[in-house]
Chain A
């Protein structure tokens, strides 16, 4: 193990660059020299969807109220972000003291936490998914807490929870009880593996539990022969994918309610099942011939060329599965190294798309390609390949991502100037649209900041009730 990693005590000072460190290109710069007819469509789309006009447009889920009662996991918060970005009123119901994930910060480093104006601290992982949400505290383990929840429930459209299977039911606030109070309620349970079925009591937990349990980890990373091991995703992938499907389920229920059903329903989604749904052909392939999907590093089992390979200053992605792109890629390579182009294009075994897929053909392809990329930087490879309209790009690190002109120009990366937390750089809402775009209005709230507002507004509590509940540790 490298000793230079042992730097807990003597950490280097890092210069914090302003963002953007390099100015974002202007409209004139972006479209300089492009003829009128060609840029006409781009300018139309830009005028239709540019984020700077968002605030003047309606929101598709305005008027929908969501209670996010999840804690200790990312999946529920990720799920409710979909609703809050599109305009629903999302209220995070946290246990008194706040959701424990607020305290998580890489390597426990307090200086990485975000501070609100009253000195309260919040970790980046939690804050990232607190966008546009309100925060109230409520102890649902206490009778008074549950009574307060029941009082609010008739005014709620969607409730999200992630307690252990059946726990809310036992407390008297499960789907069976709450749907009697509010038949229009959509009740969503999220978790790692489900609240029914043989694995239901395998304890739910944070990612990467789900990643390990459904085949993702086994399939990610390089094969043993290439010195690799099973590898987890660097972020909580299953929680975040599962959260998106949970949101889709709840949204479908909401649409069904308004369209023909008239009442709500019970929805369940898990982190593992979200990724089981999207893990390509794993199940079909195993069902056909018993194959177990192997790891294949940064190459692809089913497409050649479609890979990330080393180059002089990092790694470069090149993709072009079908003939049109295949020959363009080799034409690009051939400009510098005609013998490599010749080697590949004259090989009769590489002539048909599907013939290029067996392992030894992939080895031949990428070995030849790396002979070209090894002396070139990411930028040089990228530029040469893009001249031939081939999909290509270098593996970027986060500082490069944050400064990438395209992302800055389109607002994929944005700085929120927040009332509580000051300026925070984030990934913007993925919902880009003409009439009802998603947006980020504030980045998050300190624990329980909206107790007074929400409980007065929705439960009619007065200051006496509120201070009583506070004293009793209910809120």
Chain B
């Protein structure tokens, strides 16, 4: 705690105290957790890069290695081929990086390196010898074959934490299979329980985020932090960690798996309702909040979560919709939560909301003392003062791209907060910095590497 805060800390209201210790404008005044920890990340898409990015947010010097010229494939993905951030690299000023690259690569240094050339392998070895964390997501065994895998690095640098991330893992019947986020979601079972049931006209649905990638990166980063802790405080030893993307789905669906094991029941989709609680579901409101907008996203009718599963809340809700008879019919939670009851109760609530916008429903519920939350779109969330104040969604002055709105670290730390320095950089932007600092290359040697298309 800084001195200025600690002096009158006891007299502050709790919220003022929180605002003082978590003040997002002071993030750069505070130390970084991973200062001096070096991460080499030879990763593509989202799973691997996001893992390295979480460490970079905490202050690790993270060097991302990608192929020269076009960079990694994620740079060429962007919604509907519209938004790009220019330039792709100093050699390609007329091309841009797509927004698919966004969010998984902040604060990193960008080195371009063509692994297919022997000199590049030498550079990789020199980098690995002085790194704390080495993250990669090439097909399992590829780096081993090239002489830059876990076994080789750990011989030279026994303190390295080598994190492999990928689809199915390096062993087992599916080891040769390629994978992506939605394959993890589909084959892991996430699709099967999301969306409306067939009887209601629905089908299995994906989670809109690349969740198995971003979340897999997160628990890999957690495991790396735990391994660093173990290395520095307990054993002095590095580690080899493996994360299989499809595994994430099974970890998330543990309770459904337990139910299957016990009862043989295969959980199905239950739409916007909740099997465990009633009322705790999303109502369809009949009116759009922005009927005159030109954006079809805003013309849509609204949706609003209403949560009234306790008996007294449910009674309030029934009174609000003028159906006190429902409260009599379903007096206890056990009565309401049964499948029959849920399919009888929600249509009545939807009927009540049919002539309202989501804001109307929200307001009416709040006035009646019931929990509610309108379904917000990304414009409404971006406009929220709450997230701005907390640094969760922030405008940064990016050194390459200028004003950029980006997400901040997910969590707040009072003494050693994470921070966003830049959204990302063009391909090979830090070639000179990395090669001269860590590998002892001179200016002309670097120019030579560039000439030979090694970097």
Contacts and interface: CB of A to CB of B under 8 A. Distances in A.
Interface stretch (A138-146, A295-303, A465-473): A295-303
B374 A107 contact: no
A297 B234 CA distance: 48
Contacts of B251: 412, 427-430
Nearest to B418: A252
B204 A315 contact: yes
B210 A280 contact: yes
B407 A277 contact: yes
B92 interface: no
A226 B395 CA distance: 34
Contact of A114 (B169, B250, B258, B260): B258
26 contacts: A8-B340, A14-B263, A16-B263, A49-B242, A106-B275, A114-B262, A129-B254, A165-B14, A193-B386, A215-B378, A246-B411, A248-B54, A252-B225, A255-B225, A261-B415, A268-B22, A278-B218, A283-B378, A288-B99, A301-B79, A302-B99, A310-B203, A317-B182, A391-B178, A407-B246, A434-B239
A62 to B, nearest CB: 8
A220 B253 contact: no
Nearest to A44: B151
Interface string A1-13: 1101111100000
A442 interface: no
A166 B15 contact: yes
A291 B207 CA distance: 20
A322 B230 contact: no
Nearest to A355: B81
Interface in A194-229: 194-200, 202-203, 205-206, 208-209, 212-222, 224, 227, 229
Contacts, number: 627
B368 interface: no
Interface in A1-34: 1-2, 4-8, 14-17, 19, 25, 30
A282 B275 contact: no
B404 A284 contact: yes
Per DSSP, chain B at the interface is mixed
Interface residues of A, number: 193
B218 A198 contact: no
Interface string A339-383: 000000000000001111111000000000000000000000000
Given A16-B263, A266-B21, A41 B378 contact: no
Interface in A241-283: 241-242, 244-249, 251-256, 258-261, 265-269, 273-283
Given A217-B375, A280-B103, A302-B100, 15 more contacts: A1-B199, A107-B337, A124-B255, A165-B14, A217-B272, A230-B375, A252-B416, A254-B229, A266-B415, A282-B378, A283-B378, A291-B82, A315-B191, A396-B192, A406-B172
Contact of A273 (B10, B233, B271, B411): B411
A76 B149 CA distance: 37
A405 interface: yes
A174 to B, nearest CB: 7
A431 interface: yes
A384 interface: no
Contact of A433 (B100, B102, B206, B239): B239
Interface string B289-321: 000000111101001110100000000000000
Contacts of A419: none
Given A124-B259, A431-B223, A25 B173 contact: yes
B23 to A, nearest CB: 10
Contact of A276 (B253, B264, B381): B381
A386 interface: yes
Interface in B9-33: 9-10, 13-15, 17-19, 21-22, 31, 33
Interface in A40-68: 41-46, 48-50, 58, 60-62
Interface string B355-377: 00000000000000001011111
B382 A286 contact: yes
A407 B250 contact: yes
A467 B178 CA distance: 59
Given A251-B226, A386-B177, A402-B260, A104 B276 contact: yes
